[in-house]
Amino acid sequence: MKIIAFAEQRNNQFKKTAFEVVCAAKTIADELSAELVALVVGGNVSPIAGELGKYGASRVIVVEDSRLQYYSTTAYAKVIAEVAQQESGQVIFLSASSLGKDVAPRVAAKLDAGLATDCTAIRVENGDCVATRPVYAGKGLTDVRITSPVKMFSLRPNVFSAGTPSSGAATIEKRNVPLTDADFTAAVKEVKASSGKKDVAEADIIVSGGRGLKGPEHFAMIEELASTLNAAVGASRAVVDAGWRPHDEQVGQTGKTVAPTLYIAVAISGAVQHLAGMSSSKFIVAINKDKDAPIFSIADYGIVGDAFEIVPAFSAELKKVLGK
């Protein structure tokens, strides 16, 4: 049996999720006594391909083409599906990152494969992969199995460990997948980076603010706390709808699903739709003046009090402790 792990890169640098996927795929491959093949696609990715050896891939297939420097849904789907077919891969792992979420269904349709998206755990049972995936925004958890011959799983970012890099080495194999203009019917022409801003979907620490902050100007103290912690700024829907914050910061059922190590919720009540997006955070701190706010039901640590007093004190203490 062969397992394919798609290792995502941007600008010829692996994303952390690439290591998470390779490492999780390696664990499953070992249990199934299967061979693991990692796949890297991009413009100039041979120089980095070897890194995957440290995360358990003994073979890495590289598909390089200058037109693949930027992501193209149609071209990437073709490359992944073709390599999977050439290798007769039966199980394919990728990340449920923005790229993974976009490409996975198209690859699944090409391979006639069942796809379980955004999985938070994966295990082997009777020689088959069983994945856990949250449904109803995390209010339910399902265990699923895929019945088609080719099985695909996308893994929620930040949930699986990337392990510690070993000294393992990998053999690198360049593979040519012929592409024509017709394979680029949807192509990225430009990438606009949000000016040095950390994204909630990728951050290890998030400081989120809610309507209790009374106005957009008071997010300055949230930004200060976030920058002290090297964290991303998040927001509840109430403040996004009010236009205080951009909607790419919204956490929740109709915003982003996040799973950081630390989530600090400031003046957020903790409506079910907000909890849906952040309840799988490893540690949750809530600061709210209402002791009955539902956010406290899932917080590990809470302070019942006034954010306007507590947040600046929190930043000041951290600066002292962290020597900033």
Partner 1 sequence: MKILVFVNHVPDTETKVKVSADGKTIDPAGVNYMLNPYDEIAVEEGLKLREKSSGEVVVVSLGTDANKETLRKALAMGCDKAVVLKDSSPRDSFGVARALADYAKEYSPDIILCGKQSIDYDDAQVGGLVAEMLGLPSISVVVNLDVTDGAIVAEREIEGGHEIVHSRLPAVIIAQKGLNQPRYPSLKGIMDAKRKQIEERVVSAIKPRVEVLAMKKPSAKPPGKIVGTDASAIPELVRLLHEEAKII
* List of residues contacting ligand FAD (CB under 6 A): 210-212, 236-239, 250-255, 267-269, 271, 273-274, 277, 287-290, 293, 306-308
Cα–Cα dist 107/85, whole Å? 11
State the minimum distance, in angstroms, from the CB of residue 71 to partner 1.
Answer: 7
If binding is defined by CB under 8 A, does position 127 make contact with partner 1? no
Would you say how long the chain is, in residues?
324
Query: Can you say whether the dihedral through the CA atoms of 171, 176, 177, 179 is positive or negative?
Result: positive
Candidates 2, 197, 211, 218: give the one binding partner 1 (CB under 8 A).
197
**Which residue(s) pair with 202 in the sheet?**
none
Determine, following the binding rule CB under 8 A, whether residue 301 of this chain makes contact with partner 1: yes
Q: Quick check: 291 binds partner 1 (CB under 8 A)?
A: yes
Token code pair at residue 65: 């083409």
Residues 75-114 touching partner 1, rule: CB under 8 A, are 77, 97-99, 101-106, 108-110, 113-114
CB 200 to partner 1: min, Å: 9
SS3 230: coil
User: Which does residue 238 touch among ligand FAD, partner 1, none (CB within 5 to 8 A, set by kind)?
Assistant: ligand FAD
Of the two residues 97 and 269, which places its CB atom closer to ligand FAD in the complex? 269
Q: Which of 85, 88, 136, 290 binds partner 1 (CB under 8 A)?
A: 136
Residue whose entry in the numeric block shows the structure tokens 């077919």: 85
Give the pair of three-digit tokens for residue 310.
């507590």
User: From residue 46, how far is each of 22, 65, 180 by CA, in Å?
Assistant: 17, 11, 22
Q: Which of 130, 223, 238, 294 binds partner 1 (CB under 8 A)?
A: 130
Residue 151, C-beta contacts closer than 8 angstroms, at least 6 positions apart:
90, 91, 92, 113, 114, 129
Residues 6+ apart with CB under 8 A from 159: 20, 120, 121, 259, 280
Residue 268 interaction partner, one of ligand FAD, partner 1, none, beta carbon < 5-8 Å per kind: ligand FAD
| Whether the Cβ atoms of residue 207 and residue 225 lie closer than 8 Å to each other | yes
Question: Which of 135, 169, 220, 242 is the binder for partner 1 (CB under 8 A)?
Answer: 135
Binding partner 1 (rule: CB under 8 A), the pick from 123, 220, 297, 324 is: 297
